[in-house]
Amino acid sequence: MSKVQGGTKCVKYLLFIFNFIFWLSGSLVLAVGLWLRFDHHTASLLKEDGAPETFFLAVYILIGAGGIMMLVGFFGCCGAVKESQCLLGLFFSCLLIIFGAEVAAGVFGFLNKDQIIREVQNFYTASITGNGNSTAITSMYHEILNCCGSSEKKSDVLSCTDNTKDCVKAIEDFFNEKLFIIGYVGIGIAGIMIIGMIFSMVLCCGIRSSREVI
């Protein structure tokens, strides 16, 4: 066996192991995305009519990327085992697309963090002085976030006392935590995909070289 073929076999098994890990990572990303979307507290705060939906855009990107990662991980394993340049090229292209989606989710979460939080804060503040379903919305925020009113409008809510936590600040803390999860997961998985793209290109080049030698 030549050195080229030996190196190709080594990269082949490394890529297979990577794809299995990549498939598991896709499962994790999908699970995190579904948790953020269907988390009882988050869903309750944003389910009412008029509630801002910007937060869920990044979550949907994460869910979509996680599902595609699982599928691509499977095809990547097949491409590595069969040493198919076509499958490896397709694998590389899919990784590049998912890489863009993951980075977009991460960057979107970080860059729009203040805007998303401000929209939710404005939605809550408007519910304090609103009518109809506004009382139910206000009560829901108070119960879930364990807060009451805002520093400017605490007097508008009869149940609030001076020593209760400010809901505007509570909203900021709550969504900061969720958005940082989206950002870190997106950027972290993007780093893993860079390694996968390198492996797939090295293996593809190795397969081409070994066939030329034969």
Asked if residue 55 has pLDDT above 60, the reply is yes
Q: How confident is the model at residue 35 (pLDDT cuts 50, 70, 90)?
A: confident
Residue 23 contacts residue 77 (beta carbons within 8 Å): yes
Asked if residue 12 has pLDDT above 60, the reply is yes
Kindly state the average pLDDT of the residues 152-160. Answer: 57
Kindly state the average pLDDT of the residues 176-201. Answer: 77
Distance of CA 112 to the CA centre of its chain: 14
Q: Which amino acid is at 147?
A: C
- The three-state secondary structure class of 22 is helix
- The label of the residue with tokens 């001076």 reads 162
Using alpha carbons only, give the angle 35, 15, 209 rounded to the nearest 5 degrees.
Answer: 150
Q: Per the confidence metrics, is the pTM higher than 0.85?
A: no
Q: Take residue 169 and report the two structure tokens written for it.
A: 């600040």
pLDDT one-digit tens code per residue, 101-148:
767 766 776 777 888 888 888 888 887 776 545 677 778 888 888 887
Helix (H) or strand (E) holding 188: helix 167-213
Weakest mean pLDDT among 70-79, 100-109, 126-135, 152-161:
152-161
Q: What pLDDT sits at residue 206?
A: 66
Residue 151 contacts residue 167 (beta carbons within 8 Å): no
Helix (H) or strand (E) holding 99: helix 85-111
Residue 89 contacts residue 81 (beta carbons within 8 Å): no
C-alpha neighbours within 13 Å on the C-beta side of residue 201: 10
Domain-by-domain residue ranges, the chain?
Answer: 3-213
* pLDDT winner (highest mean) among 5-19, 56-70, 102-116, 124-138: 56-70
CB atoms within 10 A of CB 155: 9
Asked if residue 1 has pLDDT above 50, the reply is no
Asked if residue 190 has pLDDT above 50, the reply is yes
> How many whole angstroms separate alpha carbon 62 and alpha carbon 60?
5
